[in-house]
Structure 1
Amino acid sequence: MFVRAFSKPLNKFTHMAKGFEAIFKAYYAKLIFFTNKYVNDLHAAEEIVSDAFSFLWEHKEQYQFDEDFKGYLYKMVQNRALNYLKHKKIENEYINYLQKNNLLSETPAFEENPIYKKEFEHYIKEAIEHLPQRCKEVFKLSRFEELRNKEIAQQLQISHKTVERQMTIALEKLRFKLQHLLSFICLLFF
């Protein structure tokens, strides 16, 4: 599945880009429906497939995007869907644990505490402000103004795929930047 060497780098890139585009156009929608059969959540299925194609684009030099690539593509998306389900199962088990031990009832009291609330808001705002400019714009339009990806793309005059990629980058950076807050919350309650 590795790309054969071409005599000119420009031809190699053009060949990869056209092959990737053809695979994307042929399978993107099909893969979303395929993934949705596993996760039963259309939005999650779109995220999984978009993430898979983003990964492939970032590593395009390693692949030959031809008809034989179809099987690999489906298996890749299937594995990502299964990983998503494993993660969801762990989240559900954790929520069940919290419910079983009556630990969820403490959360509202925590949220009502103005000191903690103000501090958490500060950390979150600071993390958002440290995002790259385009990520910050896309994130704020999505989360604060509750616009859909299509609406954000139109407003910022960028592609739908760019919006999805920028949201993925923003969420990854926020998760990394705010992971210490989860430790703090666990210390408060456990």
Structure 2
Amino acid sequence: MGNIDFNDSTFEDLFKSYFQDLMRFVCSYVNDEEVAKDIVHDVFFALLRNKKRLDVSYSMKSYLFTLARNYALNYLKHLRVVAMNEREVSDLLENAGEELGVYEERLNRLNEKLAELPEKQREVLMKCFVEGRKYKDVADEMEISVNSLKTHISRGLKFLRNELREDVVLLMFTLK
């Protein structure tokens, strides 16, 4: 295994000799002339970068075409990965949009049913569950006993459970 003695004229001769053929060859894989040109430039850059490690027992033409094929196949593999990721992201966004729509519908129903509650029950539920305040603090603020507060909560939740049977899970998560 020996090294190729590269100088500027040798590299330039290789470039002139093989560039067009490599372009056509790579273009047959990627079907895009600009991409093919970029790949062939990358091939020649790799050649320069690895010139000290080249094995002269192989033909330079074979080496360049093998390298070009590998670069083209890597490019195509990259395109497949990108396309697959784009589809996954698109599917996730679509599903998230649908889930958000269902969530908003349920939240609107919950708000409608909350509006139907007597004022004290609604106020107690909002302060205890939505604002997350302690029963004792809410009872003191509203000037009622903790037991009265618990009765308001019990009646309010019973009404909401009956009215929103299919949305009970949402109710439990929303009113935390």
Report which of the two structures shows the higher radius of gyration computed on alpha carbons: 2
Q: Name the TM-score, length of structure 1 as normaliser.
A: 0.44
Q: Name the TM-score, length of structure 2 as normaliser.
A: 0.48
